[in-house]
Amino acid sequence: MRIREMQGLLVFALFLGLGQQAGADSLIAGERVNFSESPRWAISGTWDEVRQQLLLVDVLGGEIDRYDARGTLLGRVKSQEFRNPVLIGRSLGGVLWLEDEDGRLLRLSEDFKPQQIIELTKQVVSDQGKLISVFDWVPLGDSDFLVFGDLNKGTSSIGVVLRVPIKEPARFQILRKVDISSPAHRFFLLGQPYLAAVDDRGYSLLAEETPHVLGPGGQEFRLVRATKAGRELLGRPDLPDRVTMKTTALLFSRLEQSYYPAGLFGWKGFLYLLMRVPGTDGDTGWNLLKIDPVTTQIVWTRPIDSSAHHLLVVPGDRFWAFVEKGAVKGPGNQQIESFLRVPSGVFESP
């Protein structure tokens, strides 16, 4: 039975202990590559598979930074046709999409020229409401987007997970509502990927009181971890009541001290969940979980050869890049010096 046909609440375990699952003793390792010139504030990236280039959006620089697989900066892309890039990604068919600060999704050619523009905050409107802000998105195949943003109707607004058709954005579907005042909503302001696609199926990581993954058809996957006392539901770390410029350092400091899901990804038929594992002496560890989205079974849990304060994960057909980022001392104040380049075959193994 496929996941979209399942009913009820499905539960899978996120094990903190590394020896409890097959393949758990296999460290995810590769070559550590230093950037010749570092991006300043990178929260999104993708691979140009044809040219073997790593594309990172530098939000503060208002540009797309192009690196080769050895970390050499090849150029910085700025354009009068899009303002201040925010997120970048590719569809299953290889189409490059970019979001700019105006809330537009732009389909780009390989030389970064806009070929199609979807103005989400203007076109996603119906009697259900009007989209007024966008925080995350991911292409679902080549026909739809999974989007998280705020929907306004009348005098009230609410956070929503939406499925938005590319050709007819006004025919959007609300998959989940999230109160704007809730911590679950604030997690989507962190700039971490909590939306993922497996082919044309969308998944959302919702950091509600009990964090869980929302799958197609409304199915929920609660996150459970093993402890010495048994299994317990994964808790959500406390965040400041408001995510502002002044609370940025406090917010990320709390995250750095917490065991929590730090990213959800889809790649070649599987889901991958990035988990932060804080050490007892203040250091940081990372685990990656490979999950079969049909059976909800964990295929493996493996540690990552990195102790960076924060990771940006960029899956690719030839390499995965784990961009290693330092502690956040304030907006735009974060060192980004290297990335761990891992052959993609590592993630295809059982």
Asked which of 14-28, 183-197, 262-276, 326-340 is least confident by mean pLDDT, the reply is 14-28
Residues 142 and 93 sit within 8 Å (Cβ to Cβ):
yes
Instruction: Classify residue 5 by its DSSP letter.
Output: G
pLDDT of residue 20: 43
Across 136-145, average pLDDT = 94
Question: Tokens 């038929």 correspond to what residue?
Answer: 269
105: Cβ contacts below 8 Å, ≥ 6 apart: 97, 98, 99, 117, 118, 120, 137, 145
- Cα–Cα distance measured from residue 295 to residue 3, given in angstroms and rounded to the nearest whole number: 7
Query: What distance lies between CA 141 and its chain's CA centroid?
Result: 17
**pLDDT tens digits for 67-92?**
999 999 999 999 888 888 999 999 88
Specify the higher pLDDT residue, 95 or 257.
95
- Cα–Cα distance measured from residue 283 to residue 280, given in angstroms and rounded to the nearest whole number: 7
- Cα–Cα distance measured from residue 56 to residue 46, given in angstroms and rounded to the nearest whole number: 7
**Can you name the CATH fold of 3-348?**
Neuraminidase (2.120.10)
Cα-Cα-Cα-Cα dihedral of 228, 234, 235, 237, to 10°?
100
For the cut 60, the answer to whether the pLDDT of residue 34 exceeds it is yes
Banded model confidence at residue 122, pLDDT cuts 50, 70, 90? very high
- Cα–Cα distance measured from residue 295 to residue 342, given in angstroms and rounded to the nearest whole number: 27
190: Cβ contacts below 8 Å, ≥ 6 apart: 243, 251, 255
Domain ranges of the chain: 3-348
Across 240-259, average pLDDT = 63
At residue 338, the 3 state secondary structure works out as strand
345: Cβ contacts below 8 Å, ≥ 6 apart: none
pLDDT of residue 340: 98
- Cα–Cα distance measured from residue 252 to residue 250, given in angstroms and rounded to the nearest whole number: 6
Instruction: Classify residue 167 by its DSSP letter.
Output: S
